[in-house]
């Protein structure tokens, strides 16, 4: 297939994923008026916003396997059309259990990532797959799109209008995708059994990539749905203002994912991942510091100091963190593309599932810790600890590992160590 046609397929599939991701993050904004309407506590709000993420995570593995067997084009079309129904029905929900059940159904759009990633990768040669998968992954900019569109619809027409507009967008996108996409490239005449495909679970590299993705994607997803209410609670902003500032995190995480794919092609997945984790570690350390009033007893009497992160600096740190997570998402799937070219659907499904489960569990944990400590920044404290685990794992398995004559394994090939030393 020509390079032009491959790029058209990439654009159409990325647009489909962008709309899917906006729908997937819908409750992050509409959940604010729903919370007020239903008088939800922090844990219930976390459950409301995270429920769609659960099914989007759990179905990434089976849909990734089915993509290897049935092809990505048909599965993507089925997701776009099928999920429009529960999205539309959610506009009529009036109780928390209504939203949870419909959220479980519409959350399937989040599994579109495991369909689109192997689908677009097969249209490109190995040396360009990092860019292709990173470009497709830039569809996570749908989280920012949701933060721009949903607040405007809420203020103008009420929150019930948002799911109706999003359902219509899914149907229109399905038509656009089918017109501009192409049949899957030829696969093997006989597909391996599901048991054979799941043999990759024995490879420890898969679980290492799951750990990386649980923070870069799981953290991104969790913060995307948590930040609007965070800005509203911590800084007293309106829904529109809070969503706009939250987009400072979600927008770069989508736009820079393609850049992260290019960096991974150029410098290797390991080097990019290593620096991503350190940048995230620094940002999360600063974001974790709670608003504090400190009194120092001096010789001239007590002197009080107020320590707090101003809203502009908070937004800048979120912006940097979003870029780091974007590059980390791309570098993780560069690992997958290099190490498992014949099982990309299965491995991307496993890695995506674990990352999505992180996105489901973290908002609930955010709500539980917030209810326990009463400190808004406790969500960043939790992510800071997860990044520590990933840094230690990366250091022990890649920076220090030297299988042959001081060499380390990067991207499936033994090379001299080039990672920065600490």
CA–CA distance, 274 with 328 (Å, rounded to integer): 9
* C-alpha span between 145 and 141 (Å, rounded): 6
Distance from C-alpha of 412 to C-alpha of 410, rounded to nearest angstrom: 5
Classify domain 3-182+199-415 by CATH number: 1.20.1250.20
pLDDT tens, per residue, the chain with 422 residues: 567 888 899 999 999 999 999 999 899 889 989 998 999 888 888 889 888 988 888 888 788 778 877 788 889 999 999 999 999 999 999 999 999 999 999 989 988 988 888 888 888 887 777 778 778 877 888 888 888 899 999 988 999 999 999 999 999 999 999 999 988 776 555 556 666 666 777 778 888 888 888 888 888 888 888 888 888 888 888 888 888 888 888 777 667 877 887 888 888 888 898 899 999 999 999 999 888 888 888 888 888 887 788 888 998 999 999 899 989 888 887 888 777 777 776 787 788 788 888 888 888 888 888 888 888 889 999 999 989 888 888 888 777 764 433 344 444 444 444 444 33
- Print burial letters for 389-410: b (CB count within 10 Å at least 16), e (below 16): ebbeebbebbbeeeeeeeebbb
> Which residue(s) pair with 408 in the sheet?
415
Element (H, E) at 409: strand 408-410
Q: Judge residue 290's burial from the number of C-beta atoms within 10 Å of its C-beta, 0-12 exposed, 13-18 middle, 19 or more buried.
A: middle
Angle 59-28-167 from CA coordinates, rounded to 5° = 65
* Residue found under tokens 């929150």: 159
**232 alpha carbon, distance to own chain's centre:** 22
Instruction: For residues 36 and 398, give the distance between their C-alpha atoms in angstroms, rounded to a whole number.
Output: 48
For the purposes of burial, counting CB atoms within 10 Å of the CB of 81, is it exposed (0-12), middle (13-18) or buried (19 or more)?
Answer: middle
Q: Establish how many alpha carbons lie within 13 A of residue 254's alpha carbon, considering only the half-sphere containing its beta carbon.
A: 21
In whole angstroms, what is the distance from residue 363 CA to residue 360 CA?
6
Torsion of CA 109, 191, 7, 265, to 10 degrees: 90
Helices first, then strands: H and E counts in the chain: 19, 4
The secondary structure element, H or E, covering residue 61 is helix 60-70
Phi and psi, residue 292, nearest 5°? -135, 140
* Verdict on whether the full-model pTM lies above 0.75: no
Expressed in angstroms, the distance from the first to the final Cα of the chain is: 45
CA distance 75 to 115: 7
């Amino acid at each position: 297939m020509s390079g032009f046609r491959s790029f058209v397929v990439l654009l159409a599939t990325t647009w489909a994923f962008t709309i899917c991701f906006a729908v997937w993050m819908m409750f992050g904004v509409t959940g604010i008026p729903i919370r007020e309407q239903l008088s939800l506590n922090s844990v219930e709000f976390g459950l409301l916003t995270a429920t769609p993420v659960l099914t989007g995570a759990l179905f990434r593995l089976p849909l990734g396997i089915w993509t290897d067997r049935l092809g990505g084009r048909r599965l993507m079309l089925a997701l776009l059309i099928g999920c429009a129904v529960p999205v539309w029905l959610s506009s009529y929900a009036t109780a928390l259990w209504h939203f949870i059940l419909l959220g479980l159904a519409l959350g399937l759009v989040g599994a579109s990532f495991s369909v689109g990633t192997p689908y677009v990768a097969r249209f490109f040669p190995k040396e360009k797959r990092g860019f292709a998968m990173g470009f497709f992954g830039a569809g996570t900019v749908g989280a920012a799109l949701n933060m721009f569109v949903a607040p405007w619809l809420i203020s103008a027409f009420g929150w019930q209008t948002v799911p109706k507009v999003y359902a219509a967008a899914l149907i229109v996108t399905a038509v656009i995708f089918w017109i501009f996409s192409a049949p899957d490239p030829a696969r093997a005449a006989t597909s391996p059994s599901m048991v054979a495909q799941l043999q990759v679970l024995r490879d420890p590299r898969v679980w290492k990539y799951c750990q990386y993705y649980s923070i870069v994607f799981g953290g991104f997803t969790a913060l995307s749905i948590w930040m609007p209410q965070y800005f509203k609670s911590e800084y007293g902003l309106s829904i529109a203002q809070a969503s706009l500032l939250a987009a400072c995190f979600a927008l770069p995480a989508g736009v820079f994912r393609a850049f992260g794919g290019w960096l991974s092609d150029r410098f290797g997945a390991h080097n990019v991942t290593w620096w991503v984790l350190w940048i995230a570690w620094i940002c999360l350390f600063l974001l974790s510091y709670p608003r504090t009033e400190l009194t120092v007893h001096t010789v001239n009497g007590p002197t009080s100091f107020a320590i707090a992160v101003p809203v502009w600096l908070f937004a800048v740190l979120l912006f940097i963190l979003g870029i780091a997570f974007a590059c980390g998402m791309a570098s993780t799937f560069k690992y997958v593309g290099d190490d498992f070219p014949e099982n990309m659907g299965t491995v991307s499904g496993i890695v995506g599932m674990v990352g999505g489960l992180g996105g489901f569990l973290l908002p609930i944990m955010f709500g539980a810790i917030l209810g326990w400590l009463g400190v808004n920044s406790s969500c960043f404290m939790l992510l800071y600890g997860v990044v520590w685990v990933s840094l230690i794992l990366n250091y022990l398995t890649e920076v220090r590992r030297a299988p042959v004559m001081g060499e380390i394994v990067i991207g499936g090939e033994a090379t001299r160590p080039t990672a920065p030393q600490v």
